[in-house]
Amino acid sequence: MTVRTRFAPSPTGYLHVGGARTALFSWLYARKHGGKFVLRIEDTDLERSTPESVNAILEGMTWMGLEYDEGPFYQTDRFNRYNEIIQQLLDDGHAYRCYCSKERLDELRETQMAAKTKPRYDGHCLKNKADDVDAPHVIRFRNPVGGSVIVNDLIRGKVAISNDELDDLIIRRTDGSPTYNLTVVVDDMDMNITHVIRGDDHLNNAPRQINILNALGAEAPIYAHVPMILGDDGSRLSKRHGAVSVMQYRDDGFLPEALLNYLVRLGWSHGDQEIFSIDEMISLFDINDVNKAPSSFNTEKLEWLNQHYIKESDPAHIASLLSPHMGDLGIDPSQGPDLVEVVKAQQERANTLVEMADISQFFYKDYDDFDEKAAKKNLRPVAAEPMQKIREALAALTEWSEDTIHTAIHDVADALEVKMGKVAQPLRVAVVGRAASPGIDVTLFLVGQDACLRRIDRALAYIEARANETTGN
RNA sequence: GUCCCGUUCAUCUAGAGGCCUAGGAUAUCGCCCUUUCACGGCGAGUACAGGGGUUCGACUCCCCUACGGGACGCCA
Give A158-173 pLDDT, tens digit per residue: 888 889 889 999 999 9
Q: What mean pLDDT, rounded, does chain A reach?
A: 91
Which nucleotide lies nearest residue A12, CA to C1'?
B76
Question: Is residue A234 scored above 70 in pLDDT?
Answer: no
A239 is catalytic: yes
- pLDDT category at A93 given cuts 50, 70, 90 is very high
- pLDDT category at A324 given cuts 50, 70, 90 is very high
Give A295-309 pLDDT, tens digit per residue: 999 999 999 999 999
d(CA A70, CA A196): 16
Q: Which nucleotides of B are covered by protein (CB under 7 A)?
A: 1-8, 11-14, 23-27, 35-40, 68-76
CA of A109 to C1' of B63 (A): 34
Question: Is residue A101 scored above 50 in pLDDT?
Answer: yes
ipTM: 0.94
Q: Which of A129, A239, A292, A301 is catalytic?
A: A239
The greatest distance separating any two alpha carbons of chain A, rounded to the nearest whole angstrom, comes to: 108
d(CA A74, CA A351): 39
E strand or H helix at A78: none
Which nucleotide lies nearest residue A159, CA to C1'?
B4
- pLDDT category at A236 given cuts 50, 70, 90 is low
Question: Is residue A401 scored above 60 in pLDDT?
Answer: yes
Q: How far is CA A219 from CA A154, A156, A184, A215, in A?
A: 17, 20, 14, 10
Residue A162 dihedral angles phi and psi, to the nearest 5°: -70, 135
E strand or H helix at A106: helix A102-114
pLDDT at A473: 45
CA of A216 to C1' of B9 (A): 50
- pLDDT category at A274 given cuts 50, 70, 90 is very high
Q: At a CB cut-off of 8 Å and minimum separation 6, what does A441 contact? A: A402, A403, A405, A406, A409
SS3 content of chain A, % helix, strand, coil (to 5): 55, 10, 35
For the segment A336-340, the average pLDDT, to the nearest whole number, is 95
With contact defined as beta carbons under 8 Å apart, do A36 and A4 qualify?
A: yes
Question: Is residue A472 scored above 80 in pLDDT?
Answer: no
Among left, alpha and beta (phi > 0; psi -120 to 50; other), residue A34 is left
Question: Is residue A440 scored above 90 in pLDDT?
Answer: yes
Cα atoms in the 13 Å half-sphere on the side-chain side of A263: 28
Give A51-80 pLDDT, tens digit per residue: 999 999 999 999 999 999 998 999 999 999
DSSP state of A273: -
pLDDT at A237: 64
Predicted structure pTM score: 0.92
d(CA A11, CA A56): 9
d(CA A18, CA A297): 10
With contact defined as beta carbons under 8 Å apart, do A125 and A96 qualify?
A: yes
Which nucleotide lies nearest residue A275, CA to C1'?
B25
CA of A203 to C1' of B10 (A): 30
Beta strands in A272-420 (DSSP E): 295-296
β-bridge pairing A157-162 and A148-153: antiparallel
For the segment A371-375, the average pLDDT, to the nearest whole number, is 86
pLDDT at A471: 57
Q: Please tell me whether residue A102 adopts helix, strand or coil conformation.
A: helix
CA of A226 to C1' of B35 (A): 51
Which nucleotide lies nearest residue A137, CA to C1'?
B74
With contact defined as beta carbons under 8 Å apart, do A202 and A141 qualify?
A: no
